[in-house]
Structure 1
Amino acid sequence: MSILLKKAPKLAKHIITSFYINRDIDEVLKYLCENVTWIGPGEQEFLTSFNEIKNYFYAGQYEIPSCDINNDIFEIVSEYENRCMVLGKYTVRTKENAQMILEVNQRCTFEIIEDREKLLVKHMHISNPYGEMQLDEYFPTKIGTQSYDYLQRLLKEKTEVIEMITNNINGGLKGSNDDSTYSFFYVNEGLPKILGYTYNEFMEMSGGSAVGAVYPPDLPKALEDCEQCFAKGPTYSSEYRIRKKDGTLMWVLDSGMKSLNSDGIVKINSIITDITQLKNIESELKLERERYRIALQNITDIMFEYDMENDNFIKYQRVEIDKKIELENFETKNYSKLLESGKIIHLDDIGKLLEVLRGNLHETIEIREINSLTKNEWRWIRVQCSVIYDSDHNPIKTIGVLKDITEDKSKLESLINQAQRDPLTQLYNQRVSQNLIQEYLCSSDSKNNDALLIIDIDDFKTVNDTFGHLEGNEVLVAVSKILLHNTYDKDIVARIGGDEFTIFIKSLTKDLIIKITNDILNDASKIKVKDNHKITLSIGIAFTDDSTKLYKDLFSKADKALYLSKADGKNCYSVYE
């Protein structure tokens, strides 16, 4: 057998496929020789020339619907010098869109010749095999019942699909007539079941109609939905509630389509789905959105969102204080780079802010931010936030609130300052100065070139008794100014009693400390009081050494030196030796 003839089974299959599936008559005809013959399955299909076959095929071109070919077998059963015989069998089944239902088994015989290096069909015979006939039959009945069996099988398949769908959804099926109440002609078992009823109980509760099943307050909206949907086409959907057997209400989605039955009567087939949980979630979300809206409307803080992956920072704030104005969002890309530039956040605070934004630090922090209006002062900002994680528990986003606490900080510092200061002179009070000095003595900053001075106004009682307490207060204020004028910011100046002051001088030589003491004595003598009364001071000085660790010891030494100054006639200083 030639190599070409071995391809004969493929040619036979190609012709059957072109005829039934592709409906390509021209493709079939080009493989027929001029003196071809053909016997078909029909009584009249006995043709003996190419033209007869051509005309017959074209005449029935649109009569035969498009089909599928399954279970096909084609094989060579005999061969000659330049020809062979191919036998085949297959199943022809009409496609679903063919408006015809048919499935038949066919047999075929092809005589194929090799003509000028080309395969052509010399003869073909197509037939429908009959099944076995009973003894009392004169014609096989199987072909007559085949379409019915196919329909039954197709119906069974569709029914199984519907049952699978209804068993896997929380709902049921119903069929309604197109009347005023949409009366039921069919209700499956699933619908009463999800409502807690038996079939008979459900039909009694609903009065046998879709209208009767709807919770009365929802009926007008449900009917309106149907009317609007049917005005546009055959499909509809509506959401409403149905009273369950236990008295609770179930939200359902009712969706379906109008269609004509075999008698030309309009029917409505529908699916009922339980959407109670979805509705509850929807209600919760609606309530949550309203809470969120109210919160946003009344919040004065700035909300923010930081996208870790893209390094985007978004602020949600009002450009004006008016709460009626909607929030605006301001996005900053490459936020970490902007932070590290030091243009918006204090350099000391950048690190901890980035740690919080990246989810590495879980605490409320306070940072300093440059005032966007003045550009030359810092605002204190409190940062509170939460981290959002993905399904693998990787941090992806940070959301939070920025609160301007500059005013609160200022008030707090003012309160702290008031608690630490003498109200008249604004110098440190005795308790604070003692704590500050003791803390310094215990620190590594403490050296052997520090000193504590105790200053006492000589005969201050005479000033109060002679000129009154107002004049005495002015003297106290004047002395405090002299002490501040002659010391440094790092020094600790305090009023520790009625007319007693202390100065703790840090890191100066003894000569400079003595010079400061003389300057204080000299400046005090220039204080003007009524009747040219002179103000003088007595000062005791105690220098620190390696053994100085306690404030009380240093104060005791300075106090003894002060006593010596008083004993030497006042208006002088003494150093503890």
Structure 2
Amino acid sequence: MSDRDIPDQPPRRSERPLVELAPTGLGFAADDGTLVYANAAWRELYGFRGRFPAAVEDVMSLIVPEHHDRMRDVFETAERGEEGQCWLRTVAGRHIDHRLRRIEEPRDPSIRYIGAATDVTELTEALDAVRRSDERFRTITSSLPVAVFRTDPDGAITWANEWMKELSGYELEEGKGRSAFDLIHPDDRRAALSRAIAAADAGVPFESEHRFIRSDGSERWVLVRTTPVHDADGDIVEHIGTLEDVTGYHLRTSELAHAAAHDPLTGLPNRASVLRRLEDLCAASRGRYDVGLIFIDLDDFKQVNDDHGHQAGDAVLVEVARRLSTATRSQDLVGRLAGDEFMIVCAGIEGMGQVDAVAERARHLIEEQPIVHAGDELLARVSIGCSIGPGGGSVPDLIQQADQAMYTDKRNRRH
């Protein structure tokens, strides 16, 4: 058992000699809080010299009065079935990390609570020493090539170094008293605040990557890390944090993600992106006929490349992509599958008539005017096939139906 574990059950009488020698302070209480038994480590930590059972008042007399409410809160937490925890100071001057757990089905009915006490006196004294060296801290962090700041327990900035000024754009006096959360982009603020509250409640460091608003309104991506600082009684008195500018990394990541999902020539979503969108819509439709699919193939596109060159062919593809985007509704997705093949995924369809309307609008916009490249007028003609689903079918069925309809249209237009 580690020095922070709480046993699951009180010891049997035969086990008490082992409990008595345990390095962790262990106490066992009745339902009304009466201390039934505590081992030597517990008695030493709290300075207990009385007899067992010990009344609640006798135990409370070992703790400084201003921490009595903490002990009561720990019992209330344990009564709810959770592990209670707090830092206490004894009248003898020791600082104790006290944890308490309620036993729902004790093998000894006289014992309903088990507590574990750990001496944190040296830790609290070390924290006090850190606070006393505040001036030295400021001197060191001012010379670090990273933004460092301090806030009060509620997140209001109390101090920042010069690098923080460079990153935020605020003068040091301007930033004082401002909530650190006010500097977070509004769209990221709620999530960051939620994580910060959870970290504060647990008394652990906080880390977040989010957008940061500079004084001139511009945005930067930052990685924020903060650590809570406790006083001798275990209360959070401030947070010390750092900010690292990770905008470049986010831009590179965003560019790579965009490149992986889009066709480099037309800028349209690529085959994988379009099919993923189609699969998502079909999965969400639950059998309703509300997803439309349109296949579009450029007729005689090879002839354009052969007669006018590949640059002309590329120009045709780019212009067709633009016209297709104009023909669709806001909820539709246009993508390039490969070569001269395009696909439109239509969401929220109420019938085949809507799909046909989008398809005919696309055909009209592509074929009504020639595409001009290097002084040449290039005519673009398309074959189109539509399907609607999923109904009882699958995504492959939907694709196959649109593909077959497109080839039927191509044959009919040749005659």
In structure 2, the residue matched to 1:519 is 361
Instruction: Tell me whether 1:464 sits opposite 2:305 in the alignment.
Output: yes
Gaps of 5+ in 1: 1-281, 572-577
Is 1:372 equivalent to 2:215 in the alignment? Answer: yes
Q: Secondary structure at the match of 1:437?
A: helix
User: Does the alignment pair 1:353 with 2:197?
Assistant: no
| TM-score normalized by the length of structure 1 | 0.42
Q: Residue in 2 aligned with 1:542?
A: 387
Once the two structures are superposed, the pairs formed by residues 302-321 of structure 1 within 5 Å of their partners are 302-308=147-153, 312-318=156-162
Equivalent of 1:560, from 387, 393, 404? Answer: 404
1:508 counterpart residue number: 349
User: For 1:473, which of 314, 317, 322 is the aligned residue?
Assistant: 314
* Alignment check: 8 A CA contact 1:353 1:367 kept: no
Distance 2:343 2:336 in 1: 6
Q: Secondary structure at the match of 1:540?
A: strand
For each residue in 1:331-389, what CA deviation from the matched residue of structure 2 results, as whole angstroms up to 9, or x when unmatched? 543738xx5xx786415523532542661375521233334203xx5443322122222
Superposition deviation, residue 470 in structure 1: 0.8
Give yes or no for contact 1:457–1:537 (8 Å, CA) kept in 2. yes
Shift of 1:514: 1.8
After TM superposition, give the deviation of residue 457 of structure 1 in Å: 0.2
1:388 — aligned with what?
A: 229
1:422 is displaced (CA, Å) by: 0.8
Q: Secondary structure at the match of 1:428?
A: coil
Q: By how many angstroms is 1:535 displaced?
A: 1.3
In the TM superposition, 1:111-126 aligns within 5 A as none
Q: Distance in 1 between matches of 2:331 and 2:161?
A: 42
Instruction: Summarize the Cα distance change of 1:344–1:423 in structure 2 as closer, same or farther, 3 Å threshold.
Output: closer
Relative to 1, partners in 2 of residues 1:426 and 1:484: Cα closer, same or farther, differing over 3 Å? same
Superposed, 1:409-488 pairs within 5 Å as 409-443=250-284, 448-488=289-329
TM-score between the two structures when normalised by the length of structure 2: 0.57
Q: What is the CA-CA distance between 1:517 and the residue it aligns to?
A: 1.2
Structure 1 Cα separation of the partners of residues 230 and 265 of structure 2: 57
Q: Which amino acid aligns with 1:367?
A: H
SS in 1 for 2:224: strand
Change (3 A) 1:386 1:446: farther
Q: Deviations over 1:425-477 (max 9, x none)?
A: 01111122222322332236995222111110001111111111111111111
The answer to whether the Cα contact below 8 Å between 2:281 and 2:347 also exists between their aligned partners in 1 is no
Pair 1:356–1:524, CA change in 2 (3 A)? same
1:479 Cα deviation from its structure 2 partner: 0.6
Counterpart residue number, 2:143: 297
Q: 1:534 to 1:351 in 2, by over 3 A?
A: closer
Contact (CA 8 Å) 2:294, 2:386: kept in 1 or not? yes
* CA distance, structure 2, for counterparts of residue 496 and residue 464 of structure 1: 18
Show the 5 A alignment for 1:62-101: none
The structure with the larger Rg is: 1
Which amino acid counterpart does residue 303 of structure 1 have in structure 2? V
Pair 1:407–1:315, CA change in 2 (3 A): farther
**Is residue 569 from structure 1 mapped to residue 410 from structure 2 by the alignment?**
no
SS in 2 for 1:563: helix
Q: Which residues in structure 2 correspond to 1:131-210 (within 5 Å)?
A: none
**Contact 2:334 2:344 survives alignment (8 Å):** yes
Asked whether the equivalents of residues 147 and 244 of structure 2 are also in contact (C-alpha less than 8 Å), the reply is yes
Shift of 1:406: 3.4
Q: Equivalent residue of 2:201, what SS?
A: coil
Write the distance in 2 (CA, Å) between the matches of 1:533 and 1:391: 81
Does the 8 A contact of 1:387 with 1:398 survive in 2?
yes
Quick one: distance in 1 between partners of 2:163 and 2:188?
A: 28
Query: Whose RCO is larger (CA < 8 A, sep 6+)?
Result: 2
Q: Which is helix-richer, 1 or 2?
A: 2
- Shift of residue 536, structure 1, vs aligned partner: 0.3
Letter in structure 2 aligned against 1:568: N
Q: Go from structure 1 to structure 2 and tell me whether the alpha carbon gap of 1:347 and 1:479 turns closer, same or farther (over 3 Å shift).
A: closer
- Describe the SS at the equivalent of 1:450: strand
Q: Can you list the C-alpha shifts for 1:172-197, whole angstroms capped at 9, x where unaligned?
A: xxxxxxxxxxxxxxxxxxxxxxxxxx
Alpha carbons 2:287, 2:392 under 8 Å: kept: no
> 2:294, 2:387 within 8 Å by CA — same for their partners in 1?
yes
What is the alpha-carbon distance in structure 2 between the residues aligned to residue 359 and residue 489 of structure 1? 43
Structure 2 residue 240 is the aligned partner of structure 1 residue 399:
yes
User: Is 1:381–1:404's contact at 8 Å kept on the other side of the alignment?
Assistant: yes
Q: Partner amino acid for 1:486?
A: A
Provide Cα deviations, 1:487-534, integer angstroms capped at 9, x if missing partner: 234322211111101110111343333222112111111133576542
Aligned residue for 2:379, secondary structure, equals: coil
User: In structure 2, what is the equivalent of residue 266 of structure 1?
Assistant: none
The one-character-per-residue Cα deviations of 1:384-416 (angstroms, maximum 9, x if unpaired) are: 122222334333322111233334323321221
